[in-house]
A and B are shown apart, each in its own frame.
Chain A
Amino acid sequence: MTLLSTSAQAVRPPRSRRRRPLGRYGLTGWGFVGPFVAVFALVFLAPIGYAAYLSLFRDRMIGGRSFVGMDNYQQAVTDPQFWEGLGRVGLFLAVQVPIMLGIALLVALAIDSGRLYGRSFFRVAVFLPYAVPAVVASLMWGFIYGTQFGLVGNLNDTFGLSLPDPLSPSLVLASIGNIVTWEFVGYNMLIFYSALKVVPRSLYEAAAIDGAGEWRIISSIKLPAIRSALVIATIFSVIGSFQLFNEPSILQKLAPNAITNDFTPNLYTYSLSFAGQQHNYAATVAIVMGVITAIIAYAVQLRGMRKG
């Protein structure tokens, strides 16, 4: 439970200034928050509990459901398919997240600097892909990658090139990284930009009077001021990378040889459960994955909140 309380600290809600004594309005408060809590219990807490229960059992054709203790977990941590998928999303995370957040930060700083012609156009245009469903984004990019009637094929035909196939096994992870970057760079940009907007402008003025240049102001004032936004965006991106499913799942039809059923841990869980009917083992892999994700997210947060 330590994780829960500390993540709550990262985004601490504002304390109401006047603490009213309990009693008269306690019930009313529950009345307002009750519907949310009830549905939350049904779609969040109950499935977590149910997954934990499932992970301790095994269904067999003969004999039905039997208690197996930690056997499923033992199988999961020694499962090469699981580790391969985890390695793939780990590599994806190490390369894609810094690139995406870096571009997002640069654009946010550029817009915030007030040195752009047509600021609001830039803000909207970069954010626009966030409104595009992952299915449409993946199909669109998948066709563009295509050598049949995609842009890659066009370029090859027009200029007599032989560009490498973006959907080949060696390149497909990078191609997925490009799709995810395209989808979320604007979202992260807006998070950074919103954080930059609330930095008091007088700080910049004071720094300028002290002779600080643009870069010095960015490194000494702007970046520290939006630290928590950077941490939150990183955590969201890390969680998102570990959950990678939509894009590979859709591209699978276009590149069946490059994207296997165990390409990412989530694809693996999905195919175990819905193609293989191994619900218990799938639940176990999902829990292991959830624990690993939580640990990494927590580590990012500790690292991010450390002063200095």
Chain B
Amino acid sequence: MTTSFTTGAAGSSPSSPGPRPRSSRTSPSATARPRRGRSARKSRRPPHTPLNPRPSIPLTLVTGVVVLYTLAPLLWLVVNATKSQRGLFDSFGLWFADDFNLWDNVTRTLTYDDGVFVRWFLNTLLYVTLGAGGATVLAVLGGYALAKYEFPGRRAVFAVVIGAVAVPGTALAVPTFLMFSNMGLTNTPWAVIIPSLISPFGLYLMWVFASEAVPAGLLEAARIDGSSELRTFFTIALPLLMPGTVTVLLFSMVATWNNYFLPLIMIKDPDWYPLTLGLNAWNAQAQTAGGQAVFDLIITGSLLTIVPIVAAFLLLQRYWQSGLAAGSVKE
């Protein structure tokens, strides 16, 4: 059954309202450019129902203002990373200077002070790999256990963990620092990595996710077949838990990559700084009398700091959705 589509190139609202045979919806789209989303579908209803809205230019413009607000500072950062110190002071902030200094700036950022920026970058990678990776492992194991095993104290574990979230993390910082310094852990990578291992939000997310993604029947079947609990977890549960795992990993990665307060307290030795602390130190140096002002390096370094995390973010962005949805569905 063929129906002639009259959808314009812009895929705007249908021009012929009125009932259509149901089967006309089987073809996804007969327009020259297949479009995703509901706007492509031919509606059988008048165009003004909430289910089949017409894209609205005013609403798009209003929401566009918010997007301008979120993107403009990042644009400022990109533009100003191409300027020399002099260009920073001489040219307009949202447009390029006469000279294009980006590559020079990047080179100088990476080599300044014997390449300390590279060292900070590697430190950050270390903290993110061990901290966020470990946090994900603990959250997946814990969430799976809370969802799929009845054990004494299960509810208590959950109540305490959720309750602890209400305790301001920064309020714990001072006593944690004193404890760690008594243990001799301060000024070592462990002081940053160990606290990063706990993600209460991640645990909750995995609990919700595991409850829905791993059917109890599968686990029973594996037990009847004589599979050990660990083997069942690795061969059956883990593949099913993958989407949730990636979500938790993303959140932990952003949290550890962006961490500032924890390393600020724990680490005094610049050799163990993560990027965030390093940039802060450069800024402090630029603001002190007699210190070398390295504004161009701070701006370029800031850009280099966000490039990897933004790239990871854009590549894996569909996983954010599933994670936050899992967290918000349950009443």
A residues apposed to B, CB below 8 Å: 1, 3-5, 7-8, 11-14, 16-22, 25-33, 35-37, 39-40, 42-48, 50-51, 54, 103, 106-107, 110-111, 113-119, 122, 124-137, 139-141, 143-144, 148-151, 154, 158, 182, 185-186, 190-191, 194-195, 197-198, 201, 204-205, 207-208, 214, 217, 226, 228-229, 232, 235, 239, 242-243, 245-246, 249-250, 253-254, 256, 266, 269-270, 273-274, 279, 282-283, 286-287, 289-290, 293-294, 297-298
Q: Determine the distance from Cα of A197 to Cα of B327 in the docked complex, in whole angstroms.
A: 13
CB-based nearest B residue for A294: B166
Which A-chain residue is minimally distant from B197 (CB atoms)? A39
Beyond the given A139-B280, A290-B168, please list 10 additional residue pairs across the A-B interface where CB-CB is below 8 A: A36-B138, A47-B172, A50-B179, A116-B59, A136-B77, A139-B283, A154-B93, A191-B324, A228-B331, A243-B169
Set A26, A242, A243: member contacting B152, Cβ < 8 A: A26
B112 in contact (CB, < 8 A): no
Residues of A within 8 A of B89 (CB): 148-149
A198 to B331, CA, bound (A): 12
Chain B residue nearest to A196 (CB atoms) is B328
B98 at the binding interface (Cβ < 8 Å): no
Contacts A117-B55, A253-B283 hold; do A194 and B328 have CB atoms under 8 A apart? yes
Q: Which of B135-160 contact A (CB under 8 A)?
A: 137-139, 141-142, 144-155, 157-160
> Judging by beta carbons under 8 Å apart, are B138 and A35 in contact?
yes
List the one stretch of B1-9, B17-25, B100-108, B258-266 in contact with chain A. Answer: B258-266
Q: How far is the CA of A40 from the CA of B162 in the complex (A)?
A: 12
Is B32 positioned at the interface, with any CB of A under 8 Å from its CB?
no
Chain B hits for A208, CB < 8 A:
49-51
Q: Taking the complex as formed, is B270 at the interface, i.e. its CB lies under 8 A from any CB of chain A?
A: no
Interface size in chain B (residues, C-beta < 8 A): 118
Bound together, the chains give a CA A134 to CA B264 distance in angstroms of: 13
User: Contact: A136 with B302, CB < 8 Å?
Assistant: yes
Interface string of B191-214 (1 = CB under 8 A from A): 000110110000110011001100
Main secondary structure of the interface of A (DSSP, over half): helix
Contacting residues, chain A, for B280 (C-beta < 8 A): 135, 139, 250, 253
**Cβ A43 vs Cβ B60 within 8 A:** no
Residue of A5, A37, A141 ringed by the most chain B CB atoms within 10 A: A37
| A22–B166 CA distance with the chains assembled, in angstroms | 31
Cα A128 to Cα B330 in complex, Å, equals 26
A-B contact count (CB 8 A): 364
Given contacts A8-B159, A204-B51, contact A22 B150 (CB under 8 A): yes
Q: Is the CB of B149 within 8 A of A25?
A: yes
Q: How far is B49's CA from A207's CA once the two chains are assembled, in angstroms?
A: 10
B198 near A122 (CB under 8 angstroms)? no
Name B83-115 residues within 8 Å CB distance of A: 88-89, 92-94
Contact code string B60-81 (vs A, CB < 8 Å = 1, else 0): 1011001101110110110010
**Could you tell me the distance in whole angstroms from the C-beta of A22 to the nearest C-beta in chain B?**
6
A245, B53: Cβ atoms under 8 Å?
Answer: no
Q: Which of B77, B165, B254, B260 contacts A130 (CB 8 A)?
A: B254
A138 to chain B minimum Cβ distance, whole angstroms, is 9
Are A48 and B151 in contact (CB-based, < 8 A)?
no
- Which 4 residue pairs across A and B have the least CB separation, nearest first? A29-B149, A4-B163, A32-B145, A29-B151
B140 CB to closest chain A CB (Å) equals: 9
Closest B residue to A195 by beta carbon equals B328
A274, B265: Cβ atoms under 8 Å? yes
Partner of A136, one of B159, B160, B305, B330: B305
